[in-house]
Chains A and B, each alone.
Chain A
Amino acid sequence: MSRAALLVLADGRFPAGGHAHSGGAEAAVRAGRITGAAELEDFCRGRLHTAGLVAASVAAAAALGCEPAGLDAAADARTPSPALRLAARRLGRQLVRAARATWPSPGLDALARDFPKGAHQPVVLGLTARAAGLGPEDAAYCAAYESVSGPATAVVRLLGLDPFEAAGVLARLAPEVDEVVGRAVAAARDAAVEGVDVLPAASAPLLEVCAEAHAAWSVRLFAS
């Protein structure tokens, strides 16, 4: 396993479309729920332990070799908002493109063929980790960290938040990211034996509700 491959995949500049998504931060900023670093930290913590945990466990399960169609259905079932499902599939399709060019593999080719409209991004992320020679823990780390780094970057752009403060938020959340990854990988190992139903189903209702409202805005900076 190459440690550097993990850095390539986890790099925020990896060209897979994530830069245009705020992870719900744009809606939260507009609603006045994020006005500075403290609220950003609360927002990210909530996202990490809900959507982040689910994404990390799905990614880890995909990296372990669980069947993609079953995982994709499991991700669908854990994403009530149609707008978020669409965003997850778009991001999944964009990641498949970048991943196939970066780490060509039959598994990714099959995924692109079987999901012409895109599979949920964490499913693709797990298979990408596999293709890159990485393991379930690496996949879970990418998903969990992405669940907080996306909103943090977006809020720097949306509020003009001091980027050093945003980096501080991410650093303070790091121990919790470790913990979430541990839970996600354990759940993924269970799912490999018992089936995808045992994957976590933590949900953040406000993220789902606000994603629907955000998708209907006529003027917005971020796709989600």
Chain B
Amino acid sequence: MHLDHSHDATGAPVPSADARRPDGRRRALRIGLGGPVGSGKTATVAALCRALREEFSLAVVTNDIYTREDAEFLLREAVLPPERIAAVETGACPHTAIRDDISANLEAVEELEEETGPLDLVLVESGGDNLTATFSRGLVDAQIFVIDVAGGDDIPRKGGPGVTTSDLLVVNKTDLAPYVGSDLARMAADAKAARGELPVVLQSLRGEGGVGEVAAWVRARLAAWTA
């Protein structure tokens, strides 16, 4: 579906993830964050906003299973002004809204860009879902898959599209590993085996490094996007 929508003369929303807006400006980079329920997607989004908001113009779209829970967490934490956070209802199917029928998410991204733009980066957070839930390339330019050590250290070995094909795999909550009996070295080795050259970050948002490595990865994607 890569028709030449970039020169759409009507000024109306263009169908898919074209790199330019109707006015010819380069649109914001869109990064999706997916992963199982409770793995720390929202906490990672909040930490990324705090790390990047001074350098870049940011906005967030959330896809709660129950509407607005994640959006309200981000509002409560005041990581961004409220007009930069939009929530999309998913009709009990979070994976449908980020993969099979992305229209509501595209609308949310475009509205944020129209109302608060120009933006450098839009983070699209999926509702918590299963290991097969990945983002459509019509919606995001890159995707981060977030799993955590407490969800079981066999998840990297089990694989699935999120673990094997995401642009960045984050193994979150490494500080909990000793308490839940997860073997971090094994998780890292399994992830490496499943992903080849694709990067993996082991992170604890409570630790010293915090979201630093993921933020650095996002900065590199932004540099490549605007180059």
Contact = CB atoms under 8 A, between A and B. Distances in A.
Interface stretch (A1-9, A13-21, A30-38, A128-136): A13-21
B163 interface: no
Interface stretch (B53-61, B100-108, B186-194): B100-108
Classify the interface of chain A: helix, strand, loop or mixed.
helix
Interface stretch (B9-17, B164-172, B198-206): B9-17
The main secondary structure of chain B at its interface with chain A is: loop
Given A158-B92, A221-B65, A13 B13 contact: no
Q: Which of B15, B66, B96, B102 has the most CB of A within 10 A?
A: B15
B91 A22 contact: yes
B91 A221 contact: yes
A222 B92 contact: yes
Contacts of A104: 3
**Interface size class, chain A:** 20 to 34
A18 B14 CA distance: 19
A161 interface: no
A84 B217 CA distance: 42
Interface in B66-115: 66-69, 88-93, 96-97, 100-104, 106-107
Interface of A: 13, 15-22, 90, 93-94, 96-98, 100-101, 104, 109-110, 112-113, 116, 154, 157-158, 218-223
30 contacts: A15-B100, A16-B101, A16-B103, A17-B101, A18-B101, A19-B97, A19-B100, A19-B101, A20-B88, A20-B104, A93-B13, A96-B12, A98-B103, A101-B3, A101-B15, A109-B12, A110-B10, A112-B13, A157-B92, A218-B68, A219-B67, A219-B68, A219-B69, A220-B67, A221-B91, A221-B92, A222-B91, A223-B89, A223-B91, A223-B104
- List 3 tightest A-B contacts by C-beta distance, closest first: A112-B12, A101-B15, A20-B91
